[in-house]
Amino acid sequence: MSEAVLPVQYWRPSAALSPFVTGYHLYHAALPPGLTLQDVFLPGVASIQVTLHETPAWSLRMGARTFDPMPGAAFVGPTSCAGHLSAQGGTMVGVGLKPLGWAQLFGGNVSRYSNRVAALSQLDSGAAQLHDALEHSDRPDVVFERWLEARLHRRPPVDPRIGKLFAILEEGRETRIDVIADMLDTSPRSLATMTRQSFGFTPKLMLRRTRFVRALTAMLIDPDRGPAALKASGYYDRSHFLRDSHLFLGCSVRDFARRRGPLNQIALRVRQKVLGPLV
């Protein structure tokens, strides 16, 4: 691998785009011919993923669905299960989309894409131009910023409560659905409609996923903080954490740790340092 290409890189979004995207990333796998990288990633927000420089097609399995090959410019919907990645080397760049970003850029019901992969061209006719611009730049964050900025104001401003709800999830202090609905001046039923439309899942599942991912990330980064991480995330019974592990990972935390590959191990630490905790 060239010294200029690190295996994992993250970039923060500009202040103007931070309400809409989590950040930008690059994954690079330098493999000898014939070898395949197997890795696994935590559930999270929707994203755009683009493979570059004649990279062999990457594949992604989420639950019972396998997307092989992934499109060269792909939209990956929000996920409630681990994503199992398979690649024979190459480079993938991407951007994480907050729910407000989905609503403002594309709109519609994102739950149609939950735990699924679609060609970005199905959502945006400029997907090919984005792919080409990324191919000819060594700054994917700059290319994504320009592409996103050109699209943000094509639609009327969306409901600001989508962004407020994401901030509540990021903060992680409130877990009662009725209280969160009151904080947003809406009803639990309307809150459920909002989360399915813009987050991809029900409020209860979103809250459980956020709590679980926060606790697991802290444990993987610093295993000695396991009990403290569980308590800080609101787990007062380890059996609840183990049930959530099987719900969101499809296996125990111990098995997940054994399946983790080099990209995931590096990515968790680099992402935490540059962008902060996963939501």
* Phi, psi (rounded to 5 degrees) for 65: -100, 135
Q: What region, left, alpha or beta, does residue 23 occupy, with left being phi > 0 and alpha being psi -120 to 50 degrees?
A: left
Give me the phi and psi of 233, to 5 degrees please: -90, 0
pTM beyond cutoff 0.85: yes
Task: Retrieve residue 98's tokens.
Answer: 């907050």
Q: Which residues in 47-86 are b (16+ Cβ under 10 Å) and which e? A: bbbbbbeebeebbbbbeeeebeebbbbbbbbbbbbbbbbb
Q: Residue 211 corresponds to which amino acid?
A: R
Rounded Cα distance between 148 and 140, Å, is: 12
- Reported as a single tens digit per residue, the pLDDT across 100-140 is 999 999 999 999 999 999 999 999 999 999 999 999 999 99
Question: pLDDT tens-digit profile of 35-83?
Answer: 888 999 999 999 999 999 888 989 999 999 999 999 999 999 999 999 9
Instruction: Please state the φ and ψ torsions of residue 10, each to the nearest 5 degrees.
Output: -130, 150
Residue where the block lists tokens 């409901």: 159
Taking the C-alpha atoms of residue 255 and residue 260, their distance in angstroms, rounded to an integer, is 9
Q: Torsions phi, psi of 276, nearest 5?
A: 95, -175
The predicted structure's pLDDT at residue 191: 97
Q: Is pLDDT above 60 for 1?
A: no
